Structure 1
Amino acid sequence: MELIAEDLQAFAVFARCRNFTRAAEELHVSQPALHVRIRKLEARLGTQLYEKHGRQLFLTGAGERLAAFANDTRDRTADFLRTLDAAPPRPLVLIAGSGAYLYLLGDRLRRYLARGNELRLRTGDAAETLAAVRGGDADAGVTALGVPPDDLDCTLIAKFPQTLIVRNDHRLAGRRTVRLRDLQDEALVVPPKDRPHRQQLERSMLDQGIQWSVAVEAEGWELLVQFVRLGIGPAVVNGSVKTTSAVRKIPVKDLPPIRYYLITRSARDSRVDALRRALT
């Protein structure tokens, strides 16, 4: 079976974007042409490479392995060509969520870059971070995880409590700690339903039989904090989130801490190890 380099490149871009429109634009081809190319690649391999759930596309196990192979082939080719013309190595790629960049990585990245190191930054949620590292689109990732996966090297770099944030005039503002039962009948500011933080909070509330409602859904920690400041309702957030004097942060005793991990593939080069030391 012959795999054409152009097909591997096209699939690698599609796997990173997980969106036919964006991938086609990046490859400078039409969306129907890219769709046909991926379908022909599936037929040639005799396996499904992606699935559609709602509006989102997800790689199958075979798709993740092919993306990793495509990116590994790209990197090996680039390494070989560099031996011919002594071209400088490509910058490392780091992927992390907006919260990690805002509240965790800022000073560490500043010191790393100040030493003359090159780094290309990408943003992505936990699922996108894992997929990018597995597929070779990123050399390292930082994200919050409940249980680290066995197929990647995961190093704990930070741990934060989950905290309730309330306005200073809220009934719980004077508490030093709270439990979930203290949120009975509260209307909360929460992330969208598909976010892991929201899903964990809903499971915990359900397990304890606590009734609550949604005051508003907000994307991103900064917007959650802003809605709390406006008096829309309290919110449960990652303890690393920065607030103002108008908002109180109170640890929630019966929620697990948020653990951030640096994630890499097992095969690493010395530059990845240097990045690991800088971020941990």
Structure 2
Amino acid sequence: MTLVAEDLRVFAVFARHRNFTRAAVELHVSQPALHTRIRKLQERLGHELYVKRGRLLYLTDAGERLALFANDEADRATDFLRTLGAAPPRPTVLMAGSGAYLYLLGEPIRRYVGKGRELRLLIGDASRTLEALRDGTADVGVTALGVPPDDLDCELLGQFPQTLITRADHRLAKRRTVRLKDLQDEALVVPPKGRPHREQLERALLDQGVRWSVAVEAEGWELLVHFVRLGIGPAVVNGSVRTTSAVRKIPVKDLPPIRYYVITRGDRGDELKRMLL
């Protein structure tokens, strides 16, 4: 069984996107052709390289190891060509969630690119960010974690309380703090099912025996805030989320803080990491 450079290049692009449509566009091939190529690569290796869970694709352990190998090979080739003056500088790759980009990373990113550094930005939730660090797709990750993994270098960027946001005319708006039991019988604005924040909140409300209902499901912090401002219902959000004067922010005492970490593997992305911290 032989792996050729084109196999590695194709799989590295697929692993970065975890999406056949977007990877096919970058590779300038049809989606069916890319499906066939990845399927044949799996057959030759004798291992599944990805699995589908719901609408998302995730790399298997074998897929992560192959992606890491593919990215390392690409880096070595680029480094060699650079010694000959035949390759452009390799951009640092940062992966983070939309909330981190909106509320935490704007100024460090401006400073980094302001120094003339090349930076490529990827968006992903915590699980996809960790995958990207492990398989070499990303050099630096920023995400919220409950327990940092042992196999990656994680440094605390900041922590934020979980807060209830309401309109000024809501019954809880004048409270300095609230507890989950204060949300009894509330209709809440929440993320869609399966999102980490939604799952954590649902577990906490269930543990406290709090009855509640869904006012609306909204994707992304900004849309949650927008629906709260419209009076659809209150929401529990990360304390780093910015709001307007029309919305009150009240810490929830019996929910743990949200901790954001800067995550790296080895010494890749060290300059960006120092700037973020």
- Shared fold (TM-score, shorter chain, > 0.5): yes
- Following the alignment from structure 1 to structure 2, what is the Cα–Cα distance between the partners of residues 7 and 111? 37
Q: State the Cα distance separating 1:72 from its structure 2 match.
A: 0.8
Structure 2's unaligned 5+ residue stretches are none
Unaligned stretches of 5+ residues in structure 1: none
Deviation sequence 1:101-138 (CA, Å, 0-9, x none): 11111122222333333322222222221222222111
- Structure 1: which amino acid aligns with 2:244? T
> What is aligned with 1:75?
75
Q: Who is 2:252 aligned against? A: 252
Match runs of 1:182-201 below 5 Å: 182-201=182-201
The separation in 2 between residues aligned to 1:124 and 1:56, in whole angstroms, is 11
Please name the residue that 1:130 is paired with: 130
Whole-Å Cα distance in 2 between the matches of residues 106 and 35 of structure 1?
A: 37
What one-letter code is carried by the residue in structure 1 that aligns with 2:19? N
Shift of 1:15: 1.3
Match of 1:119 in 2: 119
Equivalent residue, structure 1, for 2:98: 98
CA deviation string 1:206-234 (max 9, x = no partner):
11111100000001111111111111000
1:277 aligns with 2:274: yes
Residues 112 and 53 of structure 1, relative CA distance in 2, 3 Å threshold: closer
Q: 1:5 to 1:277 in 2, by over 3 A?
A: same
Give the secondary-structure state (helix, strand or coil) at the position aligned to 1:215.
strand
Q: Distance in 1 between matches of 2:55 and 2:195?
A: 15
Q: Which moved more, 1:250-259 or 1:30-39?
A: 30-39
The aligned residue for residue 15 of structure 2 is 15
Aligned to 2:243: 243
Within the alignment, does 1:263 sit opposite 2:263 as a pair? yes
SS at match of 2:253: coil
| CA deviations over 1:61-88 (Å, ceiling 9, x no partner) | 1111111111111111111111122644
**Deviation at residue 260 of structure 1 after TM alignment:** 0.5
Map of 1:34 onto structure 2 = 34
Q: Structure 2: which amino acid aligns with 1:186?
A: E
97-106 or 24-33, larger mean C-alpha shift: 24-33
SS of 1:248's partner is: strand
**Equivalent-residue separation in structure 1 for 2:36 and 2:88 (angstroms):** 36
1:95-244 equivalences in 2 (<5 Å):
95-244=95-244
Residue 66 of structure 1 aligns to a residue in which SS? Answer: helix
Task: Give yes or no for contact 2:93–2:138 (8 Å, CA) kept in 1.
Answer: yes
What one-letter code is carried by the residue in structure 2 that aligns with 1:273?
Answer: D
TM (norm. structure 2) is 0.96
Which amino acid is 2:252 matched to? V
Q: How well do the aligned residues superpose, as a CA RMSD in angstroms?
A: 1.3
- Give, as a single letter, the amino acid of the residue that structure 2 aligns with 1:274: E
Which secondary structure does the structure 2 equivalent of 1:174 belong to? Answer: coil
On the 8 A contact 2:15/2:137 being kept in 1, the answer is: no
Once the two structures are TM-superposed, the CA of residue 173 in structure 1 deviates from its matched residue by 0.7
Determine the C-alpha separation between the residues in 2 that align with 1:161 and 1:91: 34
Q: What is the one-letter code of the residue matched to 1:178?
A: V
Match of 2:51 in 1: 51
CA distance 1:242–1:88, change in 2 (3 Å):
same
For the residue of structure 1 that corresponds to 2:192, the secondary structure is coil
Cα distance in 2, alignment partners of residues 24 and 213 from structure 1: 41
Q: Using the alignment, how far apart are the partners of 2:199 and 2:74 within structure 1?
A: 37
2:89–2:118 Cα contact (<8 Å) kept: no
Following TM superposition, where does structure 1 have runs of at least 4 consecutive aligned residues deviating by more than 6 angstroms?
A: none
